[in-house]
Amino acid sequence: MFLVLLITLSATLAAACSTAPAQSPAPSATALASTPALTPSDNATSGTPLSSLPSVADIVEQVEPSVVYISVEYVESSFFFQTVRTKTGSGVMLSPEGYIMTNNHVIEDARSVEVVLPNDPTTYEAEIVGMDPFTDLAVIKIEGRDFPSVRFADTSRLRIGDWVIAIGNALGLEGGPSVTVGIVSNLDRSVALGESRNYDIIQTDAAINQGNSGGPLVDLAGNVVGINTFIISTAENIGFAINASTASRVYDDVVRTGRVTNPYLGVRLQTMTPAVASSLDLARDRGVLVAFVESGSPSDIAGLEVNDVITRFQGQEVDDAAQVIKLLWHFRVGDNVAITYWRGAEQRDTTVTLAERPEGS
């Protein structure tokens, strides 16, 4: 499986150790898939006339002005040369004051960031407000007021099969963002992003391509349900977006403090199965296995050990490692979390005081 981050790249070879910026070539690529037509016939399954659904065109008209084009210049060094490179992606304006969310991989290593809004001839120099490699999210800001903006959706109600719309600057095509339509194919996917693993991923079949990174995935109310981030290159119509439940927390932290404080348990978790229980000769075959405990971490201090099986997290039953991590992100550093676990045939309870995730972990 090959994960492809959705940025487009160009490069100009510079003289050895040169830092002079190169001219970015004009982006070009193929267009995204078009929006499927809706017929006026009734939906036989739900009984809801498709003609009564909100117009995709109306939603796009509402959201598109908030979807920005991002161009990043950075220098890639080798033993003999420095190569001036440009990568492009997307972002979504979340505040009239110019705060924009995008992906961390779009702006990492940037020496300059430029932003262009649809139907606005101005090229804005952007300031990097904060970056979070752990979630692959970042916030940048441009100077000005009264920018068109959108807001995050409450994704606790999002269901598999819900219609969604992906908007972004696919392959840097000129003329504004591209639009595609699909459904939520799955929720709560666990996917590795570089050296980190994100447990709050939406899978969609809305066509997304390189250049869509950082653009919004929106619902039929025009609210952001996710930030489009990557695709699987060996598959068709399998794209992934970081859930707004994670993105909104990162955005709030960065705008408020300039950084993200991720809560930290200090354990490596594994979903328990009958096969795992049998191989480790454990009494419990359901729950979340503690596979590793970092010395001196909150979990170590609270008394958790390798091969303990967590069954409740702050009063909620858990049987999947991804579920525990997603629940963890609802808490903040310093919060106390009640954990029920089994050690052998004995059920125990403990309280973990969450610390801040160490940088690079």
CATH classification at residue 350: 2.30.42.10
Domain boundary among 260, 282, 299: 260
Catalytic residue among 105, 178, 200, 299: 105
Determine what percent of the chain is predicted with pLDDT higher than 70. 83
Task: Return d(Cα 160, Cα 3) in angstroms, integer.
Answer: 22
**Residue 361 pLDDT greater than 90, yes or no:** no
**Residue 47 pLDDT greater than 50, yes or no:** no
Task: Return d(Cα 220, Cα 162) in angstroms, integer.
Answer: 9
130 and 119, same domain (yes or no)? yes
201 in Cβ contact with 193 (< 8 Å)? no
Catalytic residue among 71, 90, 185, 213: 213
Q: Token digits for 52?
A: 């009564």
65 and 205, same domain (yes or no)? yes
Res 1: pLDDT: 53
Res 79: pLDDT: 76
182 and 230, same domain (yes or no)? yes
**Do the domain assignments include residue 188?**
yes
Res 306: pLDDT: 96
Q: For residue 105, indicate whether it is catalytic.
A: yes
188 and 135, same domain (yes or no)? yes
166 and 244, same domain (yes or no)? yes
**Do the domain assignments include residue 272?**
yes
CB-based contacts of 189-195 (< 8 A; 24+ apart in sequence): 189/240, 190/321, 190/322, 191/3, 191/230, 191/240, 192/3, 193/3, 193/136, 193/229, 193/230, 194/105, 194/133, 194/136
Catalytic residue among 136, 219, 253, 308: 136
**Residue 42 pLDDT greater than 70, yes or no:** no
Domain boundary among 238, 260, 282: 260
Q: For residue 213, indicate whether it is catalytic.
A: yes
152 and 300, same domain (yes or no)? no
Q: For residue 136, indicate whether it is catalytic.
A: yes
* Residue 269 domain boundaries: 263-356
223 and 320, same domain (yes or no)? no
**pTM of the full structure:** 0.76
Res 62: pLDDT: 94
**Do the domain assignments include residue 195?**
yes
216 and 292, same domain (yes or no)? no
